[in-house]
Structure 1
Amino acid sequence: MSLGPSSSAIHVQGTSTTDSAHNLPRTPTKITIHPVALFSILDHYLRRGESQDRVIGTLLGTRFENEVDVRSSFAVLHSETTEQVAVDMDYHRTMYELHHKVNPKEVIVGWYSTGSNLNTYSALIQNFYSQETAPNQAIHVAVNTGVEEGQEAGVRAFISSPVGVFPKPENCVFVPVPVELRFHDGERSGLDLLTSAAGSSTSTASQPIADVEILERSILTVSEMLDRVLSYVHEVLVGKKKGDPAIGRYLMDTLGASTDDLEKGGFNASLQDTLMISYLANLVRSQAEVSSRLALTTSS
């Protein structure tokens, strides 16, 4: 699809507003992105052609009133020059049909691009995706990979609004919308593994961690969280820090009947027992490895 020459797109910094008309869909005021969608965007960027400055793709997810939940994405073939931009619509629709068969609850919610440049071509692509998401507004997620000099890595989300008495597809206002990364408990171990690899002094990827080590790290993390909670509660009780009612309600809902056990140290003692079991398991495993190596040395 040829989208014509460039003219002038407008990018303004402002706050999004909800639509007051009852017969129109609500304007998104919050965008949440899951790690699967974000990693798919980054993988697409790493696999781009040498001549491509940025890549684009389709965002899939669900809508809840004025919130959009982006759960997955797929790449869309496109070419971009100084004179025109072309998007393979047939590929886009074929990929969506295949994805919809696997995840029928996920619909097209917008599109993504890499880089921080919002230009006329962005407005034209936004207009195309607005037709795909009608009557709902299409969102645009811009992922800055941080490879450009002076640019920090980050994720921003936008919605668009037409400009002028007689709006044209290539002219629109991109309005920022709050965006956050959300992940499920089951995805946390994978994110922790990637974080540890990124913080490593070597570029070698981390090896898979044994189940016992994962359990040990999780227990240590929980123990540290409990220590911070107990320290905060103690400072509030002695008057060193002003208590926050919201934090108090959250702690009561989270801990519930376990509060007495925490004060008595019962829960902390059970954590220590679990850590001891983990330590003994590691010791037994090490002893078994040493014994097997000695046996091989003796036989040879």
Structure 2
Amino acid sequence: MPVGPSSSAIHFHSSAVSDPSQPTPRTPTSITIHPVALFSILDHYLRRNESQDRVIGTLLGIRNGNEVEVRSSFAVLHSETSEQVAVDMEYHRTMYELHHKINPKEVIVGWYSTGSDLNTYSALIQNFYSQETAPHPAILVSVNTGVEEGQEAGVSAFISSPVGVYPKAENCVFVPVPVDLRFHDAEKSGLDLLAGTAASSTSTTPQPVADVEILERSLLSVSSMLDRVLSYVQSVLSGEKEGDKAIGRYLMDTLGAATEDLEKSGFNSSLQDTLMISYLANLVRSQAEVSARLALATAP
């Protein structure tokens, strides 16, 4: 899609010919993005050509009313010069067809771009994706990698609004939209591990973290959360703080489920299995030490 900055391409509006029986698409007011999509964007940026200032790609997810949930993404080939921008639309559509066969529930919700510069070319690409997501508006997720001097790493989301009596593709305003990171419970431990590795002074050392260390971190985290809950409950009981009914119900449901597990002897059985494994490991180690000493004693 080679388009120059002086192009007079028409900015299409899906509402020009609308079906009264169809519900009016809602403008996104909240965007959530999953870590998998962010990691894919960062991986694309790290693998870019040296001549590329930024990379772009397609965002896939689901819509729920005025909320858009970005679940995955894939890279799209493109090139930019001072005179034109070119996007490989055939590659984009081929990749989407392959992805749609695997995840039929995920649809195109917009596109992503690295860096913080939203220029005329960004408006042209936004116009292309607006046609792909019609009648719903396309979203833009801008990922600032933090490599530019004076720029902090972060994620921003935008939707576009046409400007002028006769809007052109390159004439639009990007309106910010709140964006949040959403992850599943199974992904939290991995994200905590990555965050801890990044903050470590030895993060460049390619050494895997031991399972015991991961378990220790998890136990310390659980212990800290229990201390916070206990402090909150004691403050409410003493009258220092007014209790929140929603928090009370959540604690009751959580602790009630934990109590039921204890009554079913699930914890005891798991503890017995752990003790048995520990006992067998110590037994094997002791036998190995005895064998080594006998070998040394009988050696000539």
Structure 1: which amino acid aligns with 2:33?
I
1:255 Cα deviation after fit:
3.0
- Normalised to the residue count of structure 1, the TM-score between the two structures is 0.81
Q: Distance in 2 between matches of 1:189 and 1:235?
A: 30
5+ long unaligned stretches in structure 1:
8-20
Of the structure 1 ranges 235-244 and 216-225, higher mean CA displacement relative to structure 2 is found in 216-225
1:281 Cα deviation after fit:
5.8
Which position in structure 2 is the counterpart of 1:172?
172
Which position in structure 2 is the counterpart of 1:95?
95
Which position in structure 2 is the counterpart of 1:17?
none
- The DSSP-based 3-state class of the residue aligned with 2:193 is helix
1:200 Cα deviation after fit:
1.6
Aligned length: 279
1:191 Cα deviation after fit:
1.3
1:3 Cα deviation after fit:
1.8
Q: Distance in 2 between matches of 1:289 and 1:138?
A: 62
Q: Distance in 2 between matches of 1:69 and 1:195?
A: 23
Structure 1: which amino acid aligns with 2:199?
G
Structure 2: which amino acid aligns with 1:89?
M
1:291 Cα deviation after fit:
6.3
- The alpha-carbon distance between structure 1 residues 227 and 175, as it changes in their structure 2 partners (threshold 3 A), is same
1:1-300 aligned at under 5 Å gives the runs: 1-5=1-5, 23-202=23-202, 203-207=204-208, 209-210=210-211, 214-256=214-256, 285=281, 288=284, 292=288, 298=295
1:131-180, Cα deviation, whole Å (9 max, x unpaired) = 00111111100001111111111111111111111000001111111111
Give the aligned CA root-mean-square deviation in angstroms. 3.2
- The alpha-carbon distance between structure 1 residues 291 and 220, as it changes in their structure 2 partners (threshold 3 A), is farther
- Normalised to the residue count of structure 2, the TM-score between the two structures is 0.81
Query: Are the counterparts in 1 of residues 115 and 144 from structure 2 also a CA contact under 8 Å?
Result: yes
Percent of aligned pairs sharing the same letter: 71
- The alpha-carbon distance between structure 1 residues 257 and 84, as it changes in their structure 2 partners (threshold 3 A), is closer
Q: Distance in 1 between matches of 2:271 and 2:150?
A: 46
- The alpha-carbon distance between structure 1 residues 231 and 184, as it changes in their structure 2 partners (threshold 3 A), is same
Which position in structure 2 is the counterpart of 1:18?
none
1:218 Cα deviation after fit:
3.1
1:255-275, Cα deviation, whole Å (9 max, x unpaired) = 3466xx6xxxx89xx989988
- The alpha-carbon distance between structure 1 residues 225 and 45, as it changes in their structure 2 partners (threshold 3 A), is same
5+ long unaligned stretches in structure 2:
8-19
- The DSSP-based 3-state class of the residue aligned with 1:71 is strand
- The alpha-carbon distance between structure 1 residues 288 and 192, as it changes in their structure 2 partners (threshold 3 A), is farther
Query: Are the counterparts in 1 of residues 116 and 142 from structure 2 also a CA contact under 8 Å?
Result: yes
Q: Distance in 2 between matches of 1:283 and 1:277?
A: 10
Structure 1: which amino acid aligns with 2:205?
T
- The alpha-carbon distance between structure 1 residues 296 and 177, as it changes in their structure 2 partners (threshold 3 A), is farther
Of the structure 1 ranges 247-256 and 163-172, higher mean CA displacement relative to structure 2 is found in 247-256
Q: Distance in 2 between matches of 1:286 and 1:152?
A: 51
Which position in structure 2 is the counterpart of 1:12?
none
Q: Distance in 2 between matches of 1:292 and 1:117?
A: 64
